[in-house]
A and B are shown apart, each in its own frame.
Chain A
Amino acid sequence: MNSLIPLLVAAPLAGAALLLLGGRALDRFGHWIATALAALSCAFGLVLFFDMLGRDTEHRAVTERLFSWIPVGGFRADVSFQLDQLSIVFVLLITGVGTLIHLYSVGYMAHDERRRRFFAYLNLFLAAMLILVLADNYLLLYVGWEGVGLASYLLIGFWQHKPSAATAAKKAFIVNRVGDMGLSIAIMLMFAEFGSFAFRPVFSAAGDASEGKLTAIALMLLLAACGKSAQVPLQSWLGDAMEGPTPVSALIHAATMVTAGVYLITRSASIFNLAPDAQTAVVVVGAVTLLFGAIVGCAKDDIKKALAGSTMSQIGYMIMAAGLGPIGYAFAIMHLVTHGFFKAGLFLGAGSVMHGMNDEVNMRHYGGLRKYMPWTFATFMAGYLAIIGFPFLSGFFSKDKIIEAALAKGGTEGWILGTCALVGAAVTAFYMTRVVLLTFFGEKRWQPDAEGHRPHPHESPRTMVIPMVVLTFGSLFAGGLFSLGDSFLHFLEPVTGHEEGHAPLSAFAVSAIATVCMAAGVGLAWLKYGRKPVPVQAPRGSLLTRAARRDLLQDDFNHAVLVRPGSALAATLVFFDSKGLDGFVNGLAAAIGGLSGRLRRIQTGYVRTYALSMFGGTLVLVASTLLMRSV
């Protein structure tokens, strides 16, 4: 049975290779091959899952070692997979949502001449993401980690002829590389400390290391997580990443890849649990980002960018939960899964709307669409109610658990974190209600596109509607299902560990307060966008609104602090290299070689040069031989 584990990865990898190398011959049906292979991988995942359920808790984690990858001295990196409760959750999420989004893309990308390539990249993404969650050591995880980064780069920049897409793709890769630097350094620290970077040996020896070392490792892992999961201060790439086709935004930049940071921290629980200072850093990052993303989400008129802000914010919740330690890990993952369902659903809904509206993304040019796209509207509403935490839908269960855990952190810290989470819940309700009202309700504010075509909104084809409907079930029921008898928690507990927190408020009180916050957010949004007509042109807005539209000035900051000084430095060095250093070394060379005159004059006669330098060299030679004699 374990031999199925490599096949999980192999199926989509083979698809990517086939589609990229297969050429035009595969243009007509290549997308179906890719979709079938994604589904096959998902089937393998299900088989492995039920196989795992059939075994008792101690025997659920299995390892499948394929071959020794880089053996040098004490450095041993293997290509070896580990399937345990944590990784199977990801496997099912990745392949499940992945397959649905392949299917959706069949419709969405039907008219794109480079569709084959698109599906190749999607398959490549699945393979890399599966390597990421199945690796049994950090170096192999790194392969998946940068592999998804590559897929993300290729897919954000899929429409490369648009300069904005190409720039966004590059930006995503570079910012992620900063995070990857953290992962590199963490692995080096582990190797220097333990002589290994495989999960099991490192986790079992973590207790021997000093807290300082563990904190350093944990902080470097956090840096990596910030890059991949778009957390402050490495958040700036996610909004721009919406340049990619919408299915990509749903799969990679909402449901799966961006949650890899949460996986990394949860996986490294044994290290973080022993490094309380690093854990504090994690919760701070999470709390700041959950507010940051929510505020940005309120100000965006671009439907995808509003959702991107929301993604950032929801992952902030997960990161915060993971930073809380054993009281939060399982809930971080639970929210990750429910979020995967409803956010993927929301993005697919957004894509469906764009599909029907001539690729318009500005919500101020939508309005009243619920009558024209009933399926899209219904599924979007399910995702909407789930994300704002409407009682007894998925988001309600998973988000409440995180708020409870935050409060259970105890002391002032607990109150601060709990308050952040509650405020976040209210803001979430506000911006999501705004999205729904602007898009589906109110009057039609439709505008002709650049070529003057008036939009004729229509429901999307079946290949697009089916995935939205399937995800709706997840949005509605997954949270409740997971919470029945705390089944999700008990399933994950052997890997992540669990401690019951002691919240100062009862679970019921927390739910009640969260629901009130949610209602407040919804009400406020209705007052602002539901009760009165929405202007087609965005009003100037308050200082905060204007800052939030510019992503709270993240790019201005990066530009001033990093980009401008960086380019200036590069320009200076280019000048220095050709004038200063080259001149100096040329001069030195000429002097030492016994050559008078400058290179420019010498170049006319190479024979003379050769003779001269031979002569000079002989002098050096004789002198040094004499020197050696006397030594």
Chain B
Amino acid sequence: MIREYRTIEEVAGPLMLIRQVDGVKYDELGEIELPDGSVRRCRVLEVNGRNVLVQLFESAAGLNLSTSKVRFTGHGVQLPVSPNILGRVFNGMGEPIDKGARIIPDKLLDINGTPINPAARYYPSEFIQTGVSTIDGLNTLVRGQKLPIFSGSGLPHANLAAQIARQAKVRNSDSKFAVVFAAIGITFEEADFFISDFKKTGAIDRTVLFINLASDAAIERISTPRMALTAAEYLAFDCNMHVLVILTDITNYAEALREVSAARKEVPGRRGYPGYLYTDLATMYERAGRKMGSEGSITMIPILTMPEDDKTHPIPDLTGYITEGQIILSREMYKKGFMPPVDVLPSLSRLKDKGIGKGKTREDHSGVLNQLFSSYARGKDAKELMVVLGEAALTPLDRLYAKFADAFESTFINQGFYEDRSIEKTLDIGWELLSILPKSEMKRIKPEFVEKYWVRKDGE
């Protein structure tokens, strides 16, 4: 029996308190019926005796304490799924907004998911070729990885994400592929950029979109990424597809979370974000992966803008502690006109070591990668010194390193958003660049590979 309550006691910000409620469970979904018949949704945050504290998903405008009715549904927030969700557009609460037919559900799934048993995971190790040298060559992405893009306001993270979505492929494999895209509080233009890019490439038919725009209710953002991930889990683990999930922008998500936390008067952690931000983010990010009993996989690319380009801000910081690496975009590179403006040195892919090498990419990959990294780091140091003291202050070797760093930025990094490089091409460019340096500097590469791949110049 479903009971209706007219006992709303208070509404403050996104929170609402209802008195004299019986039989309500923690995390249950509730519906609020307004006098005009419209229905809004809420979720139970706390049960305390007969008082129930709920969080609204939409704005509280028009809510009347005495005439609005609340009923509880007996279950958590759910998403109806079926294979037909591909190609559809939903709002942040999982309702279709593309004027298409209603989804006839195959299943109703709780959007919170359940943790994957670590004993049931497969370690991600299949190389995904994104065609972007800085990713494939240096920060290799593998199937089932969660690799965020740390960006700043005004940097072209959308272009990079779209490029990855467009070009990503696993070589020698013809498995089913899908994209799940969640727009979390981004502007119409940015969302439109992705949608038209998906349309242009025809990818839209195998894409599921969840759109919460900047103008939509901020609180809805708390469920948007979970909706998207639930859809992704269904496609990956029930339909055995390889799913690429793009979540943008996590910063907006964290702010919505902070809003609720502040309204509850919780003890804040750093910068006003709740102490459980890490755990909360983890319950989303950890849904990426591969697991036993299913062919599919979820590869996740969350995008977040670092406030003030500050990597130590809690959102990028906690994200970095959970995800398996990060691609960081740099304003300096962007201003120099190098696209995609990846800041190579602090970028990282933790899972690369098992995804590269013979049989996966190429035998020399690991050595080349380490050599490129350390040479570029030394070259940048040399360039810094050069700025202060002039070229003459450098040793002849450091001068070569400086030259290497420049060439590395203008060719290896600067490939533009529309060039699709194979991994062999990426590595060959790497060798070409390394030949600026003396052969004896190739300490990170096994001698046999140096012999095999060294680009010989005249006179050698």
Q: Do A and B come from one complex?
A: no
Residues on B facing A (Cβ under 8 Å)? none
A-side residues, CB < 8 A to B, are none
